[in-house]
Structure 1
Amino acid sequence: MSRRIDYFDDPSAPQANSIVPSANVVVVNEQGELLLIHRTDNDNWALPGGAQDLGESLPQCGARETLEETGVDVEITGLVGIYTDPRHVVLYTSNDEARQEFSVVFTARPVGGEPTPSDESREVRWVAPSEVGELTMDRSMRMRIDRYLSGETVPHLG
């Protein structure tokens, strides 16, 4: 099984050999709950998202990836931040690709669909902000969600 391994400021991390623009999306419903996925490749909870395809914008990428991973159709509404820290390297064991982090995190509202797992998500659910801290997730994902939950209005740039 292919795995995703996140390294942050880790001397044992592989040297990055690629950089791929990607989007993550903080989807919030009318009850203020966040749409999260339980990933199949690293067993962590995360925001939906993934790599940008040729011919699409990053907001389009975020909406597409959210629909593919969660079954929920969304409208992008704002920006949480840009995350490009070269100390964060993601290793994909299927092909030994070691990506330097490059993720733009958007906010969105749901406009249709129902939470439905996919090949990339073993579980999809709406999570109250007070419950997010109880879920196992990578440091970088928690940082992105915490930034949104802080109510900070200036996007993270880093």
Structure 2
Amino acid sequence: MSRIDHINNPDAPAPNSVVPSTVAFVTDDQGRVLLIQRSDNGDWALPGGGHDLGERIADTAIRETQEETGLNIEITGVIGLYTDPGHLIEYSDGEVRQQFSIAFRAKPIGGRLRTSSESTQVAWVGSDELGDLPINPSMRLRIEHGLANRSEPYIG
């Protein structure tokens, strides 16, 4: 299934769903950030995905990170809540989702890096390398907030 992110696009289709989702801002001992290259649009992003029924929201970030990267993580904090109605995600099946994402801070506790059906590449990326990667503006904001180590969660 393909994906198109619309950010403040007046020509975007109207949203027809909202799904709580998470991303995990995982850093290693060298301060590098764990990123995936998404198989659905080629952008680089924090690992994450939609919340499943019967699961705690932090467990969504843990599960999605393990599925997409092979790493097991421990949640250590909240970076922010991202609910911009101007960010719509259009899927090839007709779903147009309004953004609703919680960004968690996390640390790796096991596993081994690998790709999945949702990730064509998985890498530890230094902050000095981020500018060269295709990252949508909403995801870049989450990464910047994670790197800034804000004392209070972002709410927006």
Q: Verify same fold: TM over 0.5.
A: yes
Q: Aligned residue for 2:21?
A: 22
Divergent runs of 4+, >3 A? none
**Residue 43 (structure 1) shift:** 0.4
Q: Aligned residue for 2:98?
A: 100
The reply to whether residue 53 of structure 1 matches residue 52 of structure 2 is yes
The reply to whether residue 138 of structure 1 matches residue 136 of structure 2 is yes
Structure 2: where are the runs of 5+ without partners?
none
The reply to whether residue 9 of structure 1 matches residue 8 of structure 2 is yes
Residues 133-157 of structure 1: per-residue CA shift (max 9 Å, x gap): 2111111100110111123221110
Candidates 113, 119, 127, aligned match of 2:117: 119
Structure 1: where are the runs of 5+ without partners?
none
Identical-residue share of aligned pairs (%): 48
Distance (whole Å) between structure 2 residues aligned to residue 78 and residue 133 of structure 1: 25
- The number of equivalent residue pairs is 156
Classify the secondary structure of the residue corresponding to 1:66.
helix
Distance (whole Å) between structure 1 residues aligned to residue 63 and residue 27 of structure 2: 16
Distance (whole Å) between structure 2 residues aligned to residue 4 and residue 56 of structure 1: 25
Classify the secondary structure of the residue corresponding to 1:56.
coil
Structure 1 residue identity aligned to 2:17: S
Structure 1 residue identity aligned to 2:119: S
Q: Aligned residue for 1:148?
A: 146
TM-score of the superposed pair, with normalisation by structure 1: 0.97
Distance (whole Å) between structure 2 residues aligned to residue 132 and residue 61 of structure 1: 25
CA RMSD for the aligned pairs? 0.7
Structure 1 residue identity aligned to 2:73: V
Distance (whole Å) between structure 1 residues aligned to residue 115 and residue 52 of structure 2: 22
TM-score of the superposed pair, with normalisation by structure 2: 0.98
Residues 69-119 of structure 1: per-residue CA shift (max 9 Å, x gap): 0000000000110000111100011x1100000000001000001110000
